[in-house]
């Protein structure tokens, strides 16, 4: 299709996933040779339904082992870290790290981490980020998550995203 810089994401520490399962997934992903791979750590948001489930999210050691193995696999495959960010409540207090092949760092990822570019989110659940470059004020506009609400509230979403 002509894409020259593809990013793929993986999440370490998913419920019931072992470090061996994570490594296998990452090896298969590396074999596809995307230019960027972002390795996230499982994070259960306070309002997520998973928070009240019977799943055990205390197995930080599995996430730590998965991330450690992931760093080695990516390094050995020629990927270098180029951005990192932390989220609240990640397993093991780990970070999310973006890796890229030489010269293929994802500009979008850098812009997102540094809040230096406006982004229009399309689709249910997407978030638009508008930056007022005169005041450095950032406004986030959230699309409806429910597809029915998104479709029926589309005119309202467009109205909220108009630049003032």
Q: Both tokens of residue 30?
A: 């590396």
What is the reported pTM? Answer: 0.74
Residue 118 belongs to some domain of the structure: no
pLDDT at 28: 97
pLDDT for 42-84, tens place per residue? 887 766 666 667 666 665 888 889 999 999 999 999 999 998 8
Higher pLDDT, residue 135 or 57: 135
Residue 25 belongs to some domain of the structure: yes
- On whether both 98 and 23 belong to a single domain, the answer is yes
pLDDT at 66: 93
CATH number at residue 70: 3.30.110
Q: Is pLDDT above 80 for 96?
A: yes
Q: Rounded to whole angstroms, how far apart are CA atoms 66 and 77?
A: 16
pLDDT at 58: 60
Average pLDDT over residues 87-97: 83
- On whether both 68 and 134 belong to a single domain, the answer is no
pLDDT for 1-43, tens place per residue? 888 899 999 999 888 889 999 999 999 999 999 999 999 998 8
Q: Both tokens of residue 98?
A: 């973006």
Q: Is pLDDT above 80 for 127?
A: yes
Q: Both tokens of residue 115?
A: 């809040």
- On whether both 11 and 74 belong to a single domain, the answer is yes
Domain that holds residue 145: 127-161
- On whether both 41 and 72 belong to a single domain, the answer is yes
Contacts 24+ apart (CB under 8 A), 54-60: 55/15, 55/16, 56/15, 57/15, 57/91, 59/13, 59/91, 60/13, 60/91, 60/92, 60/93
Residue 37 belongs to some domain of the structure: yes
Domain count, the chain: 2
């Amino acid at each position: 299709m002509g894409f020259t810089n593809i990013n793929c994401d993986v999440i370490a520490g998913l419920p019931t996933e072992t470090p061996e399962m994570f490594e296998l997934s990452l090896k298969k992903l590396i074999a596809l040779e995307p230019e960027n791979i972002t390795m996230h750590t499982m994070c259960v948001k306070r309002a997520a339904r998973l928070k009240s489930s019977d799943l055990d999210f205390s197995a930080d050691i599995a996430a730590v082992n998965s991330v450690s193995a992931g760093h080695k696999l990516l390094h050995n495959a020629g990927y270098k870290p180029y951005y990192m960010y932390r989220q609240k409540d990640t397993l093991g207090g780990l970070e999310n790290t973006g890796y890229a092949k030489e010269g293929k760092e994802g500009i979008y990822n850098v812009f997102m981490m540094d809040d230096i570019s406006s982004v229009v989110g399309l689709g249910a659940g997407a978030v638009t980020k508008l930056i007022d470059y005169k005041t450095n004020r950032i406004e986030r506009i959230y699309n409806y998550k429910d597809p029915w609400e998104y479709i029926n509230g589309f005119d309202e979403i467009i109205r909220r995203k108009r630049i003032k």
